Structure 1
Amino acid sequence: MQSFISDYLAFWIPMYVLALTAWACIGRFLMQVFVPEESANYIWRGFRMLTDWAVWCARRMVPSYVGQRFLPLVAACWLFGIRLVGGVLAISAGMAPSLTPPGAG
């Protein structure tokens, strides 16, 4: 009998990290309306710490006419896309858990 969690950690950990970062990018996009860019607010610093790498990557992948304030939203879209493609590849490779029990069919 396989464990739903421990046997599929190679699937769960990347999917969780991608989802967490993508939702944090959306939170950062929404929060930047209320908080100045260089604020000392600990929640804002947490969002920045968690999402700076994704925004940095998005800045290099999109054209320069995309405004700085929209980069967290672009990064979130990229992360959700990567998560979708990675999930489909993991399911097709048998690395993701199945909802049906083995042998059912």
Structure 2
Amino acid sequence: MDFVPLWAVVIDYILGVVMWTLIGRFGMGLFLPENTSFFFMRFFVQATDPLIRLFRPITPGFLDARFVPLFVAWFFYMARFYLMPWLLGYSVMGMLSFPLEGEIARGLANILYKFQN
């Protein structure tokens, strides 16, 4: 990640955390109602409700309420995949390669490598 400016990594991490939080809300929403007393679901709902309200004007009316967090997460994915490389001046879209997920994958690989040896 030495070639990626720090500001780009920070922005990508923020967008990535928001995206994965929305995906988490969608996933948990498949099994739990929004008004459950389960701590994690309450966190996902409270953390993502402002974004869902912000995106309400462009959310299709026919979309089931359970899928709205996934729809909003898609915008954050698109920003990470297309906007970030464009801001960094890459001529090919998608070249940023998601630093957040890359760091997580490297960390998991290191952990698994240590367990094997």
Confirm or deny a common fold (TM above 0.5): yes
CA contact (8 A) 1:24 1:51 kept: yes
1:16 paired residue number: 13
Q: Deviations over 1:10-67 (max 9, x none)?
A: 2122111111111111111110122121112211122123222222233221221212
AA aligned opposite 2:19: A
Between the aligned residues of both structures, percent identity stands at: 26
1:99 paired residue number: none
Q: Which runs of 5+ in 1 are unaligned?
A: 97-105
CA contact (8 A) 1:26 1:76 kept: yes
Is 1:29 aligned with 2:21? Answer: no
AA aligned opposite 2:20: W
Alignment of 1:49-60 (within 5 A): 49-60=46-57
Count matched residues: 91
Structure 1 position 71, deviation (Å): 0.3
CA distance in 2, matches of 1:84, 1:91: 12
Runs of 4+ with deviation above 6 angstroms: none
Q: Structure 1-normalised TM-score? A: 0.71
CA distance in 2, matches of 1:50, 1:28: 9
> SS at the partner of 2:51?
helix
2:73 paired residue number: 76
CA distance in 1, matches of 2:8, 2:52: 24
AA aligned opposite 1:67: D
CA distance in 2, matches of 1:56, 1:84: 23
Alignment RMSD, CA only?
A: 2.4
Q: Which runs of 5+ in 2 are unaligned?
A: 91-95, 97-117
> Higher relative contact order by CA 8 Å / sep ≥ 6: 1 or 2?
1
CA contact (8 A) 1:58 1:71 kept: no
Structure 1 position 88, deviation (Å): 1.3
